[in-house]
Amino acid sequence: MSLEDLVDGEKCPYDGGVKATCHADGVPDARPRSSSGEGRDRGEAAVVPGALNIRSATADDVTALAEVYRRASMANEGDRPLYAEHPELLDWPGAGAREGRTRVAIVDGRPVGFATLSFADARADLEDLFVDPDWMRRGIGRALVEDIADIAQLAGWEVIEVDANPHALAFYTDVGFTVLGEVAVEYGTGTRMRRHTMPNEGTGAGHQDPAGRPAS
């Protein structure tokens, strides 16, 4: 599903709150990875209102986002031995951007982070989330999570899930995810986490099944 089907695709000024998504007037590949580095957003200083815009990524953004991905990945010392053994993991495939599933955070015309949403395997997943190391601790990771959650809600999902790396657990907890359990990922293990698309939202009987799928 293209995120352009759910939002208008225009750049949306971040208002200093938790939402950064431009809604359409009518409302409504890739290996699963948790974000590398966004955990450092804990205790971040707020982005100056109006300085951050979030929009849908396009194929033209792939090169810049691949660099954000590489820099964010290498910022985590604990992951460096894995990348030394498997340098191919530093190549971001860019499928989410080409398929219209990635949202990119822009500051002063520069991509500083991105997040990808997928609706696969009968669930809504935060497929990846990366913030450039120079822009960590400024609320960008949090804004991207809220943007993705808002879009998932527009698509009819009440929960989103993510496979978190150990260094990202505190960040995801801070932005409302709770632990479901340990899962196997491509290299090692991760922690499966879930959050409602609306803060403090309940399950919503009659609206979804236990996996958070929209009711048919």
Please tell me what DSSP assigns to residue 204.
-
pLDDT at position 7 = 58
The H or E element that residue 55 is part of is strand 52-56
Tell the residue number behind the tokens 């396009």, with chain if given. Answer: 58
pLDDT at position 3 = 63
Long-range CB contacts (within 8 A, 24+) of 99-102: 99/2, 99/29, 100/2, 100/3, 100/4, 100/56, 100/58, 101/1, 101/2, 101/3, 101/127, 102/3, 102/56, 102/57, 102/61, 102/65
How much is the CA Rg of the chain, to the nearest whole Å? Answer: 16
The H or E element that residue 118 is part of is strand 110-120
pLDDT at position 74 = 77
Domains of the chain listed by start with CATH number: 3-157 (3.40.630)
Token output for 145: 């999570």
Token output for 180: 């479901």
User: For 93, phi and psi rounded to 5 degrees?
Assistant: -70, -25
pLDDT at position 206 = 33
pLDDT at position 200 = 59
pLDDT by 10-residue block (mean), the chain, 216 residues: 54 36 30 41 52 95 93 78 71 89 95 92 87 93 96 92 90 96 79 85 41 46
User: pTM for this structure?
Assistant: 0.73
> 108 CB contacts (<8 Å, ≥6 apart)?
51
> How far apart are alpha carbons 189 and 101 in whole angstroms?
25
Alpha helix (H) ranges present in 26-137? 62-74, 80-85, 95-98
Q: What angle do CA 63, 67, 69 make, to 5 degrees?
A: 115
